[in-house]
Structure 1
Amino acid sequence: MPFCVQELPQELILEILSWLPVKDLMRFSYFDKDGFTEYWVRFWNPATRIMSEDSPHIVLFDYEYLNVRSYLKFGFGFDDLSDTYKVVMFHLNVQSIKTETRVLTLGDSSWKKTLNCPLFPMPGKLVGQLVSGNLNWLALSNTFNGPYVYEWDGVTIDDLVILSYDLKNDTYRSLLMPHGLVEVLAREPYLGVLKGCLCLFLDCYEDTHFVVWLMREFGIENSWTKILDVSYDELIRIGLKFMPLLMSENEDILLLATERDSQFVFYNLRDNRNRSYSWFRCRLT
């Protein structure tokens, strides 16, 4: 039976927040001028509130690149081979209709062009999900008539892949969707990270269920495991869209969050016949 609480104690809120991955480590900035756009990043430490100086700038000309923010992708992670941090930038070359990759290694004075690939990271989430030294984005396996004119209604499961960029080797590969995912989806899915594993969450069965898949061994496509398949009727809050934040070590409890209004739900996975859940809000003062 579900129950609601209006507000959690402050110490419990802080404990929950301490479980979450550190966000907003990078701030992206740009300057538009006729014919080109200039980009750079800064690094932000939310604990100390210290902001770094600007990174080296990169200039992309409009005649060569699609300078639209939803078609630019960034990622940030640690490369244990070079023992340093890297920033990865994907952008679309409108002449070759290929995705170009540039990498900035912290301490370097310029960005390095590393590779081109035919995969196109989908508009939407700006920052890639870091798992096992790889940055990951949902992508289309082909570019149709140019990726910037695709329509979701024309996308099938077979068109969807995960673009995975290896920070150590500056290479990429594509990973397939879970084998049990066969239907045409009503809306675009999302990638996240749970227990250090890549996860995929989406609406299924004609937008009636919320489903979460977990790739238990990164890069092993047959390790995809469905860990949650729950109807929105069961969650009661129809119309709200969810994202998974955390899973307990023994995988009994899954913490979900709504996209916009800071509502959370603990979902008990222990017994599929009698699953229970509880709602609460977080408000920091």
Structure 2
Amino acid sequence: MCEQVMQHSQSLTSDSNFIDKHLKVSSENPHLTLSISWYQRQIVTWNVVPFPVHCLLKNPSANISSDDFHHMENSSMFVGSCNGLLCFHSWNRGPEPPFKFLHISNPATRTRSQQIEYTFGKDFSFTFGYDASSRTYKIVAFRADQGNSEVRVFNLGDNCWRNIQNFPVVPYNRLDNCMFPRWFNNGAHFCGTINWLALDKSITDHINQFVVVSLDLSTETYKQFMLPLGLADEVPISQLILRVLLDSLCFSHDSNKTEFILWKMKEYGVQESWIQLFKISYQNLAMQLPMLNIDYDDSHYQLRCLYINGDVVIFASFCKYSFISDSFIYNLKDKTVVKIESEYMIHWFSDSKDYVESLVSVY
């Protein structure tokens, strides 16, 4: 009898319709991935742990229990999250020839994929998404430097990387003395597309215009659309952050180093549908948070919006000189701030990504 129950359970969890229904239900209980680190016998230990948002809102304290499954090697980087799957990039640092690979894990089913190796050189960044038309998860590797680019794609289940068309407009990848590393423009996955920020100098002879370069994972072709006109006159591209919020593509920046502004694209791909969702005064935040007497005029402090539900917003913050990454809950209606506490060092700003529990296979 027990064996029959087990077989029935296994058959359910491998049924694509059941997996889709489970994922739809799970999406109503959003999580954030928390990358935590601590010293253990003079060695830095890293874990990437999914944490339910409702727990943070109910009790703003990230009390995390973890185990070895969530452990991340020191020579690893968290690439992204999609439909309950987490993607990691790893490499060896020993005397042996360089060995680089990626792998996929599913924390809910506690499964990991085999290593996905690559040998096409260094300076590549990675992002991760889903092509619903072929029900295929894809890893996109890209390199962009000094106006040149190279893009490759790996389908989970295949055993090879494929070259695809290069970017029509090269995404912003790096600026000298930029306070935030290049992986903040590694691409935002939205509805079967990967989206990057770029600065297009060819739109007019005199004005640079911010654009979003979008890769359709189904056709593996590109489109591009503009951000609101006039931003390039007042906002350095290094301050822009692209993220999916409220089931829409959003981006944020600061205004005259005094306010945080969030924009939302109501209709994906339609430049005219950008709306300004809200503004938040840095002065109001500084009055309620002990933020090390930060001088905003020096642009050493930046916010990243992680989650929105009605008037409640979860923010990650980062200070360049102290390398402190914090988080807090902000109420748009009454303008109150509550800091999220934790006993661990959590890398809120760089590694907090959306996550939902799923039964999706890693193979």
Query: Would the TM-score normalized by the shorter structure come out above 0.5?
Result: yes
Matches of 1:14 and 1:276 in 2, distance apart?
16
SS at match of 1:117: coil
Matches of 2:170 and 2:157 in 1, distance apart?
29
Matches of 2:325 and 2:85 in 1, distance apart?
19
Residue 198, structure 1, aligned to residue 257, structure 2: no
**Count of matched residue positions in the alignment of Structure 1 and Structure 2:** 241
Equivalent residue, structure 2, for 1:99:
149
Matches of 1:92 and 1:32 in 2, distance apart?
24
Q: Which of 100, 103, 114 in structure 2 is aligned with 1:42?
A: 103
Indicate if the aligned counterparts of 1:99 and 1:118 stay in contact, CA closer than 8 A: no
Matches of 2:89 and 2:194 in 1, distance apart?
17
Matches of 1:184 and 1:174 in 2, distance apart?
22
Residue 175, structure 1, aligned to residue 234, structure 2: no
SS at match of 2:233: coil
Equivalent residue, structure 1, for 2:115:
54
SS at match of 1:241: strand
Q: Which of 278, 285, 305 in structure 2 is aligned with 1:228?
A: 278
Matches of 1:74 and 1:199 in 2, distance apart?
20
Alpha-carbon offset, residue 160 of structure 1 = 2.5
Over 3 Å counting, the alpha-carbon distance change for 1:231 and 1:24 in structure 2 is: farther
Equivalent residue, structure 2, for 1:132:
191
Alignment of 1:79-118 (within 5 A): 79-92=131-144, 97-118=147-168
Matches of 1:11 and 1:219 in 2, distance apart?
31
Equivalent residue, structure 2, for 1:262:
326
Paired AA for residue 189 in structure 2: L
Which fold has the larger relative contact order, with Cα–Cα distance below 8 Å and residues 6 or more apart in sequence? 2
Q: Which runs of 5+ in 1 are unaligned?
A: 1-9, 61-66, 144-155, 270-274
Indicate if the aligned counterparts of 1:135 and 1:165 stay in contact, CA closer than 8 A: yes
Q: Deviations over 1:2-49 (max 9, x none)?
A: xxxxxxxx98338788xxx7788111134689xx97643111233455
Alignment of 1:239-254 (within 5 A): 239=294, 240-248=301-309, 251-254=310-313
Over 3 Å counting, the alpha-carbon distance change for 1:54 and 1:142 in structure 2 is: farther
Alpha-carbon offset, residue 127 of structure 1 = 3.2
Over 3 Å counting, the alpha-carbon distance change for 1:14 and 1:253 in structure 2 is: closer
Over 3 Å counting, the alpha-carbon distance change for 1:278 and 1:92 in structure 2 is: closer
Equivalent residue, structure 1, for 2:212:
162
Paired AA for residue 29 in structure 1: S
Matches of 2:110 and 2:336 in 1, distance apart?
36
Alpha-carbon offset, residue 252 of structure 1 = 2.8
Q: Which runs of 5+ in 2 are unaligned?
A: 1-52, 63-80, 174-181, 295-300, 319-323, 345-363
